Amino acid sequence: MSDGSAKLEAFRKEVRTWLRENLPKGWGTPEYKDPERFSTEAHELGKLWQKKLYDAGYAGFGYPKEYGGVERPPEEIAVIREELLRHGSPFGPLSLGLLMAAPTIMAHGEEWQKERFIPKILSGEESWCELFSEPNAGSDVANIQTTAVKEGDEWVVNGQKIWTSMWEFSDWGILAARSDPNAPRHHNLTCFIVDCKSPGYTKLPLKQMTGTSEFGEEYFDNVRIPDKNRLGEVNKGWGVILAGLMAERSGGGAFWGGMGGGRSATGGAARGIGMLSVKAIIDLAKETHHYGRAVWDDPVFRQKIANLAIEVEAMRYSGLRMVAKMRKGIMPTNEASIVKNFQAEMRRRQGDMVMEIIGAYSQLMRDSKRAIDGGEWVYQMMRARGATIEMGTSEINRNIIAERVLGLPR
């Protein structure tokens, strides 16, 4: 064994020991009960976990030290991620901080904004949301109607936002508002960092078909934002919005920030995407019988599962290519649309295939005692529909790929 690999093996042992000592009590055993999805308890567990990871130097990579970034060689980061995945570990806080806010502030923020906000995102202490969509400005985000009017050194904001993920737990939001009623589209928006506890800021839950209130809506009634919280230049908000969307679609910010571990104690997100889910589907296919034969022995299903494994691997490499680009300081642009679309559509196909495997049990959700795996598969199948809409719908992302990547006419 070379010196390098011996050192890396020693590091792996160190991470494993740390995980054994720090994961929640009973983690990974049948007795451990995950907190309810999107509950305060889940959020607090995520915050605590991210803080522990960060304090141990196992999260917060990819950002300069002066903004709280943790420096580590890439091979150690890879070991940390592998071990987190292997052990399963709690998700981070219910926040868009790592995924969207930190990369956007990094790209467009002033010095004080980077110093003030990024460290607390990396350590999970403060949670964020993205306040872009409105009832008439979803795909057409340039049609934002919420107004921001300058009064002295403050902006006064009025309007409504909708479909806001992690609405309930956010301390801060990145808000896009129309700052010039007369300027043409794409030149009339400004972005702000808004304190979600500001007077005049009201938030309400919206129920999704999954039964959860993962997203909500907000009303701005004369909310005052200091000009120093403006993110980027006046009327240049379009560029800030694009940076935010591209960071989200690529997932790179979350990857480098070291977002959680990627699954719950009982394997919850293992039913989401990735190789863990392929393994979980194989197990399900082995345990489920159709007409006296295990689904796993049916050549049609085996082919479908093999196809999924190939897709997951292809997605992983596309994601890694983009992350490598980000490591060189290049923000991913249109490729992010490819990865986002592939991931979301794959998730949808995967959910549909699982429904074919479990057959009539696909009608039972988690409120039924007889639902398979507590209704987790059915939840994932339904949530996958949201994945094809959030961060830009599949149609919009295909338009971007057609025009900007393939050079096809509009």
Catalog residues that contact ligand FAD under the rule CB under 6 A.
129-130, 132-133, 138-139, 163-165, 215, 386, 389-390, 392-393, 395-396, 399
User: Looking at beta carbons only, is 213 or 235 nearer to ligand FAD?
Assistant: 213
Q: In the complex, what is the shortest distance from the CB of residue 303 to ligand FAD, in angstroms, rounded to a whole number? A: 30
The residue (of 85 and 142) whose beta carbon lies closer to ligand FAD is 142
Cβ atoms of 363 and 382 within 8 Å: the answer is no
Helix (H, G, I), strand (E, B) or coil at 5: helix
Q: How far is the CB of 221 from ligand FAD (least distance, A)?
A: 19
Closer Cβ to ligand FAD, 312 or 344, answer by number: 344
Query: Which residues does 188 contact at the CB level (< 8 Å), separation at least 6?
Result: 178, 179, 180, 181, 182, 235
Closest distance between ligand FAD and the C-beta of residue 52, in Å?
Answer: 26
How many Cβ atoms sit within 10 Å of the Cβ of residue 373?
Answer: 18
* Least separation in angstroms between CB 348 and ligand FAD: 12
Q: Which residues contact 171 (CB under 8 A, 6 or more apart)?
A: 126, 127, 128, 195, 196, 197
In the complex with ligand FAD, the residue whose CB is nearer, 71 or 395, is 395
- Distance of alpha carbon 162 from alpha carbon 219, whole angstroms: 9
Tally of residues, the chain:
410
Minimum distance between the CB of residue 165 and ligand FAD, rounded to whole angstroms? 3
Helix (H, G, I), strand (E, B) or coil at 164: strand
Shortest distance, CB of residue 38 to ligand FAD, whole angstroms?
Answer: 12
Residue 374 phi, psi dihedral angles, 5° rounding: 65, 20
Nearer to ligand FAD, 165 or 190 (CB): 165
**364: buried, middle or exposed (CB in 10 Å: 19+, 13-18, 0-12)?**
middle
Q: Count CB-CB contacts under 10 A for residue 320.
A: 12
Residue that the structure tokens 């983009």 belong to: 322
To which H or E segment does residue 294 belong? strand 293-294
Q: How far is the CB of 396 from ligand FAD (least distance, A)?
A: 6
Pick the closer one to ligand FAD by CB: 134 or 311: 134
Q: How far apart are the first and last CA of the chain?
A: 56
User: Measured from the CB atom, is 89 or 337 closer to ligand FAD?
Assistant: 337
